[in-house]
Amino acid sequence: MSTKIYGTTGKLLRVNLNEGQIWEESLDEEVLRKYLGGTSLGVKLLYDEVNPGVNWSDPQNRVYLLSGPLGGARVAGSACFSVVTKGVHTRGVTSSQANGYFGAYLKFSGFDGIAIQGAARDWKYLYIHDGVAELRDAHYLLGKDTWEVEGAIKEELGYSERRMSVFSIGPAGENLVKFAGMHGDKGHSAPHNGLGAVLGSKKLKAVAVSRSRGKIDVADSAQLDGVSKVLVENFKKALGGEMFNWGTSRLVVSAAKSGILPVRNYTTALFPEAKNFDVRERFKIQRAPCWACPSHHHMHITVTEGPYAGFSGKEPEYEQYAAWGPQIGNTDAGGAIVLANEVDRLGFDANEGSWLIGWVMECYEKGLLTSKDLDGLEMTWGNVEATRALVKNIAYRRGFGDILAEGIKSAAEKVGGEAGSMAIHTQKGNIPRGHDHRTKWWEFMDTCVSESGTLQNQLLMLDLTPYGLEQKFDAHSWEQVSTVEGKTTGTLTFADSLVICWFACSGNIPLLVQALNAATGWNFSF
């Protein structure tokens, strides 16, 4: 008789797209104790099952979609899931996380995660419900954007809005854009290091998981409820309450003041129009919270003024505002909202997309790229409609968009000359997050040494005292920055292995350890 493992279903769903086979596999408690779930479990599986010489687009590459021991629990932000695969740009392990509902619904359907291998002969999507999984024909979904795919699958299967979570790859993933991501729940994304292109190479258009009746038993429900309440109270106070009450959108203003806002492809650090992006009191908003989250973070927004008045979609996060506002020289928040939603629906990474567009605009300004090169587009700073046209060309690999679809490092090398020196990326080929890293040294360092193709640490909200460090340090001292990074690296990996939203846990790792123990009955110390 098997021993119950709290906080987990104890099952991994295996999908072989080559043969169209689906089966369940038991997860060993010893493995779960060592790797927890989410990112860490995905890395362990990738290490065991994929040869280092395998290319990202090879059918032998695998993709893991994983919840963790807090998945589906009554803890804010616990419906996150982690995607792990061999990434496109770095050709090494990559992980990316998305919020929404998917991670909780996957657990309720009876699985801690999904392991996808092989490549389908014809386009498929995966449908999971009540402990059952099936591959279904996806031809009718081809060419549809991520919002359209979500609506079409729910209509086909008869699910209302909140009774199913759907994540898909969009046209960008279909066309193997090398910074395509996985997007779903209308405004959530796991976008980094080309994982959407990996799924596109496997001809898997989407994964749909219903809100089944299953539940997750935890070891100590009362203790977990207590820890959850403390986490919420900390979340309410973090950064003066701004994150809980206003989400990340207002960070555009503070980032501009502190010099970490990316402006016009790093050609300046000044953006006096930042105040234009503080729009919640001007535009119409409606809450669209993630699973079990009481914050006012994720919103649906309707533009009420300016040239895009009447447009309705997901409120951009800070990085999307930064991407489609200052980074491309656009001062109109409504235009940034339109572009952020366009890119989400097309299915690629807003960060890399904006580094590309900003680079193109700087090249255009300096005469290194012309309208003729760009299929007739006048890529002047802040040109929202030209950008809108170009991002579609990228997603469908049309004209110059086909070159840009290879990613910024490759595109810059292709153009060559002076243009190559203006492209923003790491030497490995991945890209930084949405900041001016010339003044954000700790994130600069973390991006360059990260093993995952994106951040492995987050000092914005991290409590440093448990590490024996002073909470305040000189952010422009190479010695202090490297010391703090070295002693705290892996904090995001831990949170992404539980899997929980970083903002919801407010960087309090000891509390996360308590939540882990309450859910599983284990006895981890900080």
Q: Which amino acid is at 320?
A: Q
pTM: 0.96
Q: Categorise residue 239: left if φ over 0, alpha if ψ from -120 to 50, beta otherwise.
A: left
Looking at residue 457, what is its pLDDT? 83
Looking at residue 1, what is its pLDDT? 37
Q: Which residues contact 172 (CB under 8 A, 6 or more apart)?
A: 179, 180, 181, 196, 197, 346, 347, 348, 394, 395, 405
Please give the C-alpha separations between residue 424 and each of 269, 407, 519, in angstroms, as whole numbers.
Answer: 15, 11, 42
Tell me the β-bridge partners of 168: 183, 206
Please give the C-alpha separations between residue 423 and each of 151, 267, 432, 446, 521, in angstroms, as whole numbers.
Answer: 37, 11, 12, 19, 49
User: Which of these, 45, 136, 53, lies nearest to 82 by C-alpha position?
Assistant: 45
Tell me the β-bridge partners of 300: 286, 314
User: Which of these, 301, 296, 297, lies nearest to 285 by C-alpha position?
Assistant: 301
- DSSP state for residue 287 in the 8-state scheme: E
Looking at residue 170, what is its pLDDT? 97
| Helix ranges, 238-286 (H) | 242-246, 251-258
| Helix ranges, 313-420 (H) | 318-324, 333-346, 350-365, 384-395, 401-404, 408-415
The residues of the chain scoring below 50 in pLDDT are 1
Residue 11 sits at the vertex; the CA angle it makes with 10 and 16, to the nearest 5 degrees, is 160
**Complete edge-to-edge strand list for the sheet that includes strand 204-210:** 132-137, 124-129, 204-210, 164-168, 182-184, 188-190
User: Which of these, 150, 241, 193, 115, lies nearest to 447 by C-alpha position?
Assistant: 193
Q: Which residues contact 464 (CB under 8 A, 6 or more apart)?
A: 470, 471, 473, 484, 488
Looking at residue 90, what is its pLDDT? 83
- DSSP state for residue 380 in the 8-state scheme: -
Looking at residue 461, what is its pLDDT? 84
* Coil/strand/helix, residue 435: coil
C-alpha–C-alpha distance, residues 134 and 136, integer Å: 6
